[in-house]
Amino acid sequence: MKVRPPVAVSLAGVLGLMITAHAQQPAQLNVCHAGSLTAAFTPVEREFEREHPGVKVVDTAGGSVDLARRFAAGRLPCDVYAPADHLVIDTLLEPSKLADYSIVFAHGRMVLAYLATDPKAAKLPVTGTFQPPASIPQVAAGWDDVLTMPGVRMAGAHPFMDPGGYRSHMLFELAQAALKKPGLYNALLSHYQVNVADPTGATPAPALGKDFNFQTTYEHSALTAASTNPAYRFARLPDSIDLSSDAPGRYAASRITIPGAGIPGAPASVTIPASRTEWGITLAATTPSRDLAVAFVALLLGPTGRAALESHGPAPLVPARVTPSDAPRLPPALQRLVSTEN
């Protein structure tokens, strides 16, 4: 009774099936990006999967600083990382050798959002009519007095977790300088609350017009909200405040210091200067999917990505920009898609 040969054949067959099954597993590309890029990245990711059959894009959106720290700590796989502020790459990832360069590919501005049905928000003085995108009102003299009235609440992200949060604080500081009102920064800050959504969904997220009266947000996000809510309104702030100008040194009066990447060898804290609202992207220096990551970034910087950004925001930079020192570090396929000029 010789039974060993059939057993050996059986084991070999099982091993062959296991190898085949493993080989057929789809490749994976981990794309981590700011929540403000979700609408634009969704069609780009779909097109990428169409052009690369068998590749699965795993999308993770959230606060840009939070994503960077999770990635640095090894708790979040990222092959491509796109924060709402390119300076997060420069200050958190590059010093930790987790990224070699940052590409600036989109820009926008901060606006002040509210509901037309909110009695407290109705007191905000503005000039112009609200007919987006053709006509957006501008705040008028006394806007800061309304934001600091008793009982008025503003809301936004946490400044240590998300650029939208620290840009709000920068906005307050710039408003104090522009309006020449000592103490205004502190007064505005005392009316600011950090909104924290329950990730389990067990409790509803704080709502504009109910839990707070005003919100500092990106203009393209506000445009999307206004398209689905007839009561939603937003107003522009002066360009000396709203972080929309690319004039050198325009916002030099403000900067913020936040905790660093939180890993051994990284600085305990980093200082981020105020600058134009610009989104950045990079490849993780340690990515095992380098060719796929390069192909994704190339798709974003090309016609497909530009069309998605033009439809959903933020506005694309054409061409995208890198610093002269970063340019040589880019893969050749990306060097052709960027400039050091704009």
Q: What is the pLDDT along the chain (342 residues), one digit of tens a residue?
A: 444 444 343 434 433 433 333 444 459 999 999 999 999 999 999 999 999 999 999 999 999 999 999 999 999 999 999 999 999 999 999 999 999 999 999 999 999 999 999 999 999 999 999 999 999 999 999 999 999 999 999 999 999 999 999 999 999 999 999 999 999 999 999 999 998 766 677 788 899 999 999 999 999 999 999 999 999 999 999 999 999 999 989 999 899 999 999 999 999 999 999 999 999 999 999 999 999 999 999 999 999 999 999 999 999 999 999 999 999 999 999 999 999 976
Question: Cα 319 vs. chain centroid, distance in angstroms?
Answer: 19
Indicate if 134 and 211 belong to the same structural domain.
yes
Among residues 186, 204, 236, the one where a domain terminates is 236
Sign of CA dihedral 92, 63, 313, 52: positive
Pairing relationship of beta strands 214-218 and 154-156 according to DSSP bridges: parallel
**pLDDT value at position 20?**
38
C-alpha 289 chain-centroid distance: 22
Residue 217: phi and psi, rounded to 5, are -150, 175
- The CATH code of the domain that includes 88 is 3.40.190.10
Give yes or no: residues 71 and 172 share one domain: no
**Domain-embedded: residue 241:** no
Same domain membership, residue 227 and residue 124: yes
Residues 323, 324, 330, 333, CA torsion sign: positive
**Count of domains for the chain:** 2
Residue 251 lies in a domain: no
- Nearest alpha-carbon partner for 83 in 278, 334, 216, 268: 278
Structural domain harbouring 74: 26-107+276-339
Considering the domain architecture, whether residues 149 and 76 belong to the same structural domain is answered as: no
CA angle 90, 42, 47 (to 5 degrees): 105
Task: Note the pLDDT of residue 26.
Answer: 58
With respect to residue 13, please indicate whether it lies within any of the assigned structural domains. no
Together in a domain, 120 and 214:
yes
